[in-house]
């Protein structure tokens, strides 16, 4: 058992969509839902951590302050965290370490975003020293470009087919269509997916995640505090926020080139494999102990990469798992029972927190219409731009 456990007292979300309102409003909604779920008043919160949004001006950069102000300043310390898609995990880690250090009993973690239409684009201006700006300028390397490279590689190395990629989307749409917080509540067929326009070949429009407005929040506490209130509660057993080990030989956004493995040998375990591995190590658990996983399906094909990265199977075997129904609800280890990004779209600072919300609902048996039977433990995995690992293990 992990020595670093904290309790999850409450979880809450604002529905994902394209609502066009202030991100603070969504964050407050999710925070209040999580507090109500925990049966706590905000005045009991000792610490507030938030994932930042860089697309909402100054209030987005100081997200924790924006939420604290909107919830009514109580003088508590706060922490705003940015790690791209992994921002939510960093905020949860800030809260967890403070609890484990004995510096607070109850912490609130919030992430919320309001997103513009279309591709995620770099910041404006002539930014010739910013690799994120330069990759758009010199290569036209959008985020889906990188997803397309990975997908093509799976096809040529492992025999993945366009049908496999479409089936990931079909599976996730079936998982999430009854999820009250999902943006896309529609069951897609393979034919519909394969009839959607190509974006980054071989990937199609319905296989690439959209950007969404949304918010998620969790209330964490020490085990001691939680035991005074309940006999049983989901616990976070591990949070991994690791960075790569040099040389990182996988071509990731927003890079032009990988590290070189010419002089120094690449580590046996690559960065994406090491993200979940660090979480398993901390929790004292392994992939075989997981009842389910919430992984970052920025593209349908990327979900297959994650099966291997989180140890559900060996490299090259993900298609076999998918085809056998192992990762479908009712299968051995359902992946993305929430519907994943395919049903939600991405609300960057909220997404890693939303993954944890789903695991908590599953572990409590409250995931109506998408319940994983006898769920005992689950893992989340994602990765933020510029080498941010993110993986959380929640147990009951």
Partner 1 sequence: MTKPRVPAIDGWFTMDDEPRLIGLYDQGTGSYFFPKDVALSAAPGRAGVVLREAELSRTGRLWSYTTNHYQPPDPYVAPDPFEPYTVAAVELTQERMVVLGQLAPGVEPSSLELGMPMELVLDTLYEDDEAEYVVWKWKPVTVPASVQAIRENT
What residues line the site for partner 1 (CB under 8 A)? 118-119, 121-122, 124, 126, 128-131, 133-142, 144-145, 148-153, 156-157, 197-203, 246-247, 249, 251, 255-264
CA–CA separation, 170 and 385 (whole Å): 27
In whole angstroms, the minimum distance from the beta carbon of 261 to partner 1 comes to: 4
In whole angstroms, the minimum distance from the beta carbon of 153 to partner 1 comes to: 4
In whole angstroms, the minimum distance from the beta carbon of 139 to partner 1 comes to: 6
CA–CA separation, 81 and 1 (whole Å): 28
User: Closest CB to partner 1 among 261 and 324?
Assistant: 261
In whole angstroms, the minimum distance from the beta carbon of 341 to partner 1 comes to: 18
9, 221 Cβ separation under 8 angstroms: yes
User: Closest CB to partner 1 among 153 and 364?
Assistant: 153
290, 168 Cβ separation under 8 angstroms: no
CA–CA separation, 70 and 143 (whole Å): 33
User: Closest CB to partner 1 among 62 and 134?
Assistant: 134
What's the CA angle centered on 9, arms 7 and 11, to 5 degrees? 120
In whole angstroms, the minimum distance from the beta carbon of 370 to partner 1 comes to: 31
In whole angstroms, the minimum distance from the beta carbon of 215 to partner 1 comes to: 25
In whole angstroms, the minimum distance from the beta carbon of 147 to partner 1 comes to: 8
Question: Sign (positive/negative) of CA torsion 394, 253, 175, 347?
Answer: positive
User: Closest CB to partner 1 among 62 and 251?
Assistant: 251
Residues contacting residue 204 through CB under 8 Å, at least 6 positions apart = 166, 193, 194, 196, 197, 198
In whole angstroms, the minimum distance from the beta carbon of 170 to partner 1 comes to: 22
User: Closest CB to partner 1 among 72 and 118?
Assistant: 118
11, 357 Cβ separation under 8 angstroms: yes
Give the bridge partners for 393, in sequence order. 238, 379
User: Closest CB to partner 1 among 141 and 239?
Assistant: 141
In whole angstroms, the minimum distance from the beta carbon of 152 to partner 1 comes to: 5
Largest CA distance in the chain: 58
User: Closest CB to partner 1 among 133 and 184?
Assistant: 133
CA–CA separation, 174 and 339 (whole Å): 7
User: Closest CB to partner 1 among 83 and 293?
Assistant: 83
Within its chain, how far is the Cα of 389 from the centroid? 10
CA–CA separation, 280 and 300 (whole Å): 25
Cα–Cα nearest to 279, from 311, 320, 245, 313: 311
CA–CA separation, 321 and 165 (whole Å): 13
CA–CA separation, 257 and 210 (whole Å): 26
User: Closest CB to partner 1 among 77 and 387?
Assistant: 387
């Amino acid at each position: 058992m992990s020595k670093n456990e904290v309790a999850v007292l409450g979880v809450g979300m604002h529905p994902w969509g394209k609502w066009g309102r202030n991100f603070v409003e969504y964050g407050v909604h999710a925070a209040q839902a999580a507090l109500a779920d925990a049966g706590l008043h905000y005045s009991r919160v000792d610490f507030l951590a938030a994932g930042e949004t860089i697309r909402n001006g100054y209030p987005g950069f100081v997200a924790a302050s924006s939420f604290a102000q909107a919830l009514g300043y109580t003088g508590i310390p706060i922490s705003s965290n940015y790690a791209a898609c992994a921002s939510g995990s960093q905020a949860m880690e800030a809260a967890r370490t403070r609890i484990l250090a004995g510096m607070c009993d109850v912490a609130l973690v919030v992430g919320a975003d309001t997103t513009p239409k279309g591709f995620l684009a770099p910041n404006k201006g002539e930014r010739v020293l910013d690799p994120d700006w330069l990759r758009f300028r010199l290569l036209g390397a959008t985020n889906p470009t990188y997803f397309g490279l990975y997908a093509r590689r799976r096809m040529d190395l492992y025999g993945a087919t366009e049908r496999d990629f479409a089936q990931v989307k079909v599976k996730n749409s079936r998982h999430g269509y009854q999820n009250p917080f999902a943006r896309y509540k529609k069951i897609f067929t393979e034919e519909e997916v394969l009839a959607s326009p190509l974006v980054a070949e071989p990937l199609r429009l319905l296989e690439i995640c959209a950007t969404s407005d949304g918010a998620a929040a969790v209330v964490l506490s020490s085990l001691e505090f939680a035991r005074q209130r309940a006999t049983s509660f989901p616990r976070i057993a591990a949070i991994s926020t690791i960075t790569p080990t040099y040389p990182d030989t996988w071509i990731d956004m927003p890079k032009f080139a990988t590290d070189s493995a010419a002089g120094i040998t690449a580590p046996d375990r690559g960065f994406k494999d090491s993200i979940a591995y660090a979480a398993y190590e901390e929790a004292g658990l392994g992939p075989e102990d997981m009842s389910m996983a919430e992984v970052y399906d920025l593209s349908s094909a990327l979900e297959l990469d994650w099966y291997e990265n989180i140890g559900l199977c060996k490299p090259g075997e993900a298609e076999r798992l998918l085809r056998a129904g192992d990762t479908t609800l009712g299968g051995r280890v359902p992946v993305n029972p929430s519907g994943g990004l395919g049903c939600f779209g991405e609300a960057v600072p909220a997404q890693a927190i939303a993954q944890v919300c789903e695991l908590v609902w599953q572990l409590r048996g409250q995931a109506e219409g998408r319940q994983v039977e006898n769920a005992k433990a689950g893992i989340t995995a994602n990765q933020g731009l510029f080498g941010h690992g993110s993986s959380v293990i929640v147990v009951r």
